[in-house]
Amino acid sequence: MSENVESGPAPEKMSAARELWEVVKTIVYALAIALVLRVIFFQPFTIPSASMEPNLYEGDYIIVSKFTYGWSRHSIPFSPPIFHGRIFEHPAHRGDIVVFKLPRDGHTDYVKRVIGVAGDRVQMKDGLLYVNDKLIQREPLSPVREDIGFGVVRDVARFEEKLDSGKTYTTQDFGPDNPLDNTGVYVVPEGYYFMMGDNRDNSLDSRVPPADDGVGYVPAENLVGKAQIILLSWKPQASIFKPWTWVLDARPSRFFKILH
């Protein structure tokens, strides 16, 4: 009488299992590479508000370099509290456009411009910016017409602001008598930065303390990275579920725009 001999899995099943395993490995490797790139090198962000106009518009997709200031726990998704401080830290400079975690919750991403570094004295007087008791020079540019809704259109003043370092950038202003146009003196503590939006009268920034739902001083640890380039841009009404808006509401003049 012959005995039954186990011949093992069918070749077809083994081949399918190997193919599945290869697919799983490819996905895992791709995700690992994407995570490394996101944590160490670059991360994309979408601009959700008008606080940085006229340099960043709602609907801009920007790329932020993670390595410019070194790395902190906020460089990692979900900001796990696995260490404190920064590794290979490099300071941010006045005029840098920076993405950072909102100090009062440690999770919300904000984008503003660095105006004050440790030891600086920052103040607004009649809509003019003073750093270390020195007026930051600005030159008027051509105003723009802006529709603010409900059929109301107004002129928005724009200025080229110039820091002592020689760095220049454009700001916009609705006038010298808005709530944040006259402030006390802010003295930036060691290890912190003072941030402001370029849209000076429409920005919740370091001029407003956390107790009033503002930003306050931003710890160096909270910096995520430096905004380097606008990769792509669409008007706010564009929708991923409306393919025709991908073309009709695109802003190609803003594609691949280097940020200053």
- pLDDT (tens digit, 9 = 90+) per residue, 104-157? 999 999 999 999 999 999 999 999 999 999 999 999 999 888 766 666 777 899
Catalytic pick among 66, 72, 75, 112: 112
231-244 confidence digits (pLDDT tens) = 999 999 999 899 99
Which residues have C-beta within 8 Å of that of residue 207, sequence separation ≥ 6?
Answer: 124, 180, 183, 186, 196, 214
What is the identity of the amino acid at 26? T
Q: How far apart, in whole angstroms, are the C-alpha atoms of residue 72 and residue 87?
A: 6
Q: Which domains does the chain have, with CATH numbers?
A: 13-258 (2.10.109.10)
51 noted as active-site residue: yes
Catalytic pick among 51, 72, 203, 233: 51
181-231 confidence digits (pLDDT tens) = 999 999 999 999 999 999 999 999 999 999 999 999 999 999 999 999 999
